Structure 1
Amino acid sequence: MFSPGHAGAGAYARVGNETGVMNASPHRLIAMLFEGARKAIGQARFHMQQGNVGRRGEAIGKAISIIESGLQASLDRNVGGEIAERLDALYSYMTRRLLQANIKSDESMLIEVDRLLATIEEAWTAIGPEVARMAAQGSAETMR
């Protein structure tokens, strides 16, 4: 089905992803989760448009897994307080909408969740420079 060149490219991509994860800051890891969830939703939309129910379900399942086991699980309710609680509720809503999208084959629900993720991702990206500055400041104080 695939040529040996494709297998090599796949292996290279896996090594690149693993290296990226291993070298990523905590802030970057969350950004990667947003990217992965949105990519899975994009794949689900494609498969929905193609009428490929099995692949659509797999992609939606992947998006749900990233949201629940990645984004939602990483929330620190003790530090994040009300914001973490609201994000927790929003992530739960997103997973319900993704399940409904799969059951009803409703692309508008996929678009809705993608837009919600995009909004949070944009805010997360915007705080990146401040997070990096604080991390650098913390490292400098630790070295003293």
Structure 2
Amino acid sequence: MSQSRAALKHYAAVQVQSSTLDASPHRLTAMLFDGALERIARAKGHLQRGELARKGELISSVVAIVGELSGSLRRDAAPELVDRLAVLYDYILGCLIKANASNRADLLDEASQLLGTLADAWQSISPDRPASLAGNG
């Protein structure tokens, strides 16, 4: 890796770290959604180019993010809705795992579409509202 590329990568990492330190819990959750969607898109590109190792690394990263989103659900708030979200997150995890194992882009698309819908819904929630569904937002 060239020096300038390494410097750019370092700058990007510092930028992300700075953004997370200053972000509200609502913004942090939005950043998780954004990161997951971006990684799915990149994983699909690697899959299409036959770069399976990198595809697997990215999908593993998305699995960790979705696990974090699921784990942040507050079980004491709106239990029926939280239970449905937990089931949806489990379904998305299943899509990701199957997509990784079988190299199926359609399953990546499905996971992306579902996460995109959740991300849009999250964005529609006012960050000033008291947290009711997620422990961090």
TM over 0.5: yes
What code does the residue aligned with 2:72 have? S
Q: Does 1:75 align with 2:73?
A: yes
Amino acid at match of 1:47: H
Work out the CA distance in 1 between the residues paired with 2:61 and 2:106: 18
Q: Which residue in 1 is equivalent to 2:26?
A: 27
1:131 matches 2:130: no
Mapping of residues 62-141 of structure 1, within 5 Å: 62-68=61-67, 70-127=68-125, 130-132=126-128, 134=129
Q: Which amino acid aligns with 1:131?
A: P
The residue matched to 2:77 in structure 1 has which SS?
helix
Q: State whether structure 2 residue 19 is matched by structure 1 residue 4.
A: no
What is the root-mean-square deviation of aligned Cα atoms in Å?
Answer: 1.1
Partner deviation per Cα, 1:75-119 (whole Å, 9 max, x = no partner)? 001023211111111111111111111111110000000000000
Q: Post-superposition shift, 1:131?
A: 2.6
Give the AA of the match of 1:32.
M
Q: How many residues align?
A: 130
1:120, 1:20 → 2: CA distance? Answer: 22
- For structure 2, the 5+ residue unaligned runs are 131-137
Q: Say which is worse superposed, 87-96 or 76-85, in terms of deviation.
A: 76-85
TM-score (norm 2): 0.91
Which residue in 2 is equivalent to 1:44? 43
Residue 14 of structure 1: aligned partner: 13
Q: Deviation string for 1:24-59 (max 9, x for gaps)?
A: 101001000000111111111001100111111111
Tell me the percent identity: 37
Structure 1's unaligned 5+ residue stretches are 136-144
The residue aligned with 2:60 is 61
